[in-house]
Amino acid sequence: MGEADEAFVQAIEHRPKLSVTEDEGIPLIDLSPLSFPNDANTKNIDDLVVEIGNACKKWGFFQVINHGAPLEKRQKVEDAMRKFFAQPLEEKRKVRKDEKKAVGYYDNEHTKNVRDWKEVFDFVADKRILMAASHEPEDKEVPETFNQWPDYPPELRESCEEYAREVEKLAYKLMELIALSLGLPASRFSSFFEDPTRSVRLNHYPPCPAPHLALGVGRHKDVGALTILAQDDVGGLEVKRKSDGEWVRIKPTSDAYIINVGDILQVWSNDVYESVEHRVTVNSEKERFSIPFFFSPPHCTMVKPLGELTNEQNPAKYRAYNLGKFLATRRQSNFKKLDVENIQISHFKVQELANELDGALSINKK
Ligand code: OGA
Ligand code: NI
């Protein structure tokens, strides 16, 4: 990665503050009732469901401990990813992703059209990757692509695959708890996740000579249903606090996972839960590693508010959108700097449509 050239520089209003606000209020939730439901010392599942519901409403983010995913698998993948990223750029570029290869190594990602100070390695926990070929609604082509595993380190593939299997189990459990927290049957989301999309990203944020100008990842919301993130002890993930819009840092807790609501869950819940903006700050001394696991339904899903959560008084706030086409539109901006805002779920808001129509009508009246 080169010097802090202009492509990395954030607009003044998006630059990070150097003094950090660490928020103690981001809930830390103990999931032990899932592993020991009959233990008299643990809270019961109902209390856990209430805690999760409150966290999703108030923050859109929470950390979980005693989650049952073995630490050893996480350590293995962390060790392997350090070895992978420590290689020269030419080696890593052998598994580079591009417009045709959906996953692999990449060091030129832009978020909101500003380059991120990071390099990534993406893979999916599936045999193949099915993605809409383009954003054009008429284009029905869904080409298959595959993971690209590097030769070095040889253990990377197995450690990634094992890690993803463990985190996936946690993802299913969390979706059940979230369904219950919305007053739905625990299995309400299971039909969406019969053939889920499980993409995993290995993030490496190298030390940055200009941490006051650049970001590891610019502000964004996750597009999936749920994200399960492992971060190391360096810290840098900041969440936009819903109560006042302040950026607050999530304090690293060893062996915890950070969970956040993604756009799809926001739409399914008809805005009961919101996908909250977050970003990553970098620092001049320490490199940082993190591993988000993005859990989503298959690309062919039409995403729309759940019928049980809407009625005449509370109508659906979103029009249905096709997930594959949404992602294909979003992907365009990963490979080139665009001059327009990227596609967002807010573009499918029913209210927006009403406003647009109002606008059009008032123009006509003039
Ligand atoms: C992401 C993300 C946070 C982190 O990759 O979507 O938000 O701490 N990462 O790396
Ligand atoms: Ni994110």
Q: Is the residue at 366 inside a domain?
A: no
204 CB within 6 A, ligand 1: no
Strand (E) or helix (H) holding 154 = none
Q: How far is the CA of 221 from the centre of ligand 2 (A)?
A: 6
Q: How many H-runs (helices) and E-runs (strands) does the chain carry?
A: 8, 18
Q: What is the mean pLDDT of residues 321-340?
A: 76
Q: How far is the CA of 150 from the centre of ligand 2 (A)?
A: 25
Q: Is the residue at 128 inside a domain?
A: yes
How many domains are contained in the chain?
A: 1
How sure is the predictor about 364, in pLDDT bands with cuts at 50, 70 and 90? very low
Burial of 297 per CB tally in 10 Å (0-12, 13-18, 19+): buried
Q: Is the residue at 83 inside a domain?
A: yes
Q: Is the residue at 10 inside a domain?
A: no
Q: Which ligand is nearest to the CA of 275?
A: 2
292 CB within 6 A, ligand 1: yes
Q: Is the peptide bond before 292 cis (omega within 30 degrees of 0)?
A: no
Mutate to test the pocket of ligand 1, among 204, 219, 275, 278 (most ligand atoms within 8 A of CB): 278
Q: Is the residue at 176 inside a domain?
A: yes
Helix, strand, or coil (residue 72) = helix
Among residues 66, 14, 15, 354, the alpha carbon closest in space to that of 210 is found at 15
What pTM did the predictor assign?
A: 0.92
Cβ of 216: how many Cβ atoms within 10 Å?
Answer: 25
Q: What is the pLDDT of residues 299-312, one digit of tens each?
A: 999 999 999 999 99
Q: How far is the CA of 363 from the centre of ligand 1 (A)?
A: 42
CATH number of residue 25's parent domain: 2.60.120.330
The b-or-e profile of 348-357 (16+ CB within 10 A means b, else e) is bbeeeeeeee
Q: Is the residue at 182 inside a domain?
A: yes
What pLDDT is attached to residue 366?
A: 42
pLDDT greater than 50 at residue 365: no
Joined together, the tokens standing for residue 193 give 């996740």
Domain of 214, in residue numbers? 15-361
Q: Is the residue at 7 inside a domain?
A: no
Q: Is the residue at 136 inside a domain?
A: yes
Q: What is the mean pLDDT of residues 270-293?
A: 97
pLDDT greater than 80 at residue 128: no
Distance CA 96, CA 98 (A): 7
Among residues 274, 257, 253, the alpha carbon closest in space to that of 265 is found at 274
Q: How far is the CA of 307 from the centre of ligand 2 (A)?
A: 28
Q: What is the mean pLDDT of residues 308-335?
A: 88
How sure is the predictor about 355, in pLDDT bands with cuts at 50, 70 and 90? low
